[in-house]
Amino acid sequence: MKKTRILFCLLSAAALAAVWQHRVMPPREPPDLTATCQNQTATLWRGTYGWQWMDYFGSGQGVTSDSPHPLDVLEELPALAAEAGDRISVSSPAAPDSLTAERFSRVGPDSEALTPQPDGVLLLPEEGRDSVYVIHARWNDTFTGSGNAVYAFYVP
């Protein structure tokens, strides 16, 4: 009887260890966003973000990362060749719950708010060249991670 209990305990511990080992930890930062225009695809520059997730024990964890404004790091931004009226599709492996966008002209400090279509498509405005596009994405999923992040790309 004692051997059966010991064997049961050992098998139970091994089963728990196997399940624990294969449990997937939520990401500790926001997912990448990509932009596609015609035949070009680029992973967007990720700037400032705040991200929260639950650890193995159900405790909330989080991280905040700050960055310079995208206009200050223009050389780091991916460039997409596009023309007025082109469709720029923004996507991610984990689709954000909300997207907003703005355009910063390199020749002026003002920004223009853009409204992405529900499928994550931005229409390049008439004066949309020589501009930096900043995307604000938000995720709201307690189990896989939640938070917000700023992404950017440049249209020369």
Q: How high is the pLDDT of residue 148?
A: 97
Domain boundaries, the chain: 25-155
For residue 78, give the nearest of 55, 48, 46, 101 by alpha carbon. 46
The two structure tokens encoding residue 35: 């932009």
Q: What are 41's two structure tokens? A: 């695809």
Q: How confident is the model at residue 21 (pLDDT cuts 50, 70, 90)?
A: very low
- How many residues belong to the chain? 156
pTM: 0.82
What are the pLDDT digits (tens) for 32-41? Answer: 999 999 999 9
What is the reported pLDDT for 10? 57
Q: Which of 149, 131, 126, 135 is nearest to 80 (CA)?
A: 131
In the predicted model, what is the mean pLDDT of the chain?
86
For 67-120, what is each residue's pLDDT tens digit? 999 999 999 999 999 999 999 999 999 999 999 999 998 876 678 999 999 889
Q: What per-residue confidence (pLDDT) applies to 57?
A: 79
Q: Is the pLDDT of residue 16 over 70?
A: no
Whole-angstrom distance, CA of residue 29 vs CA of residue 64: 9
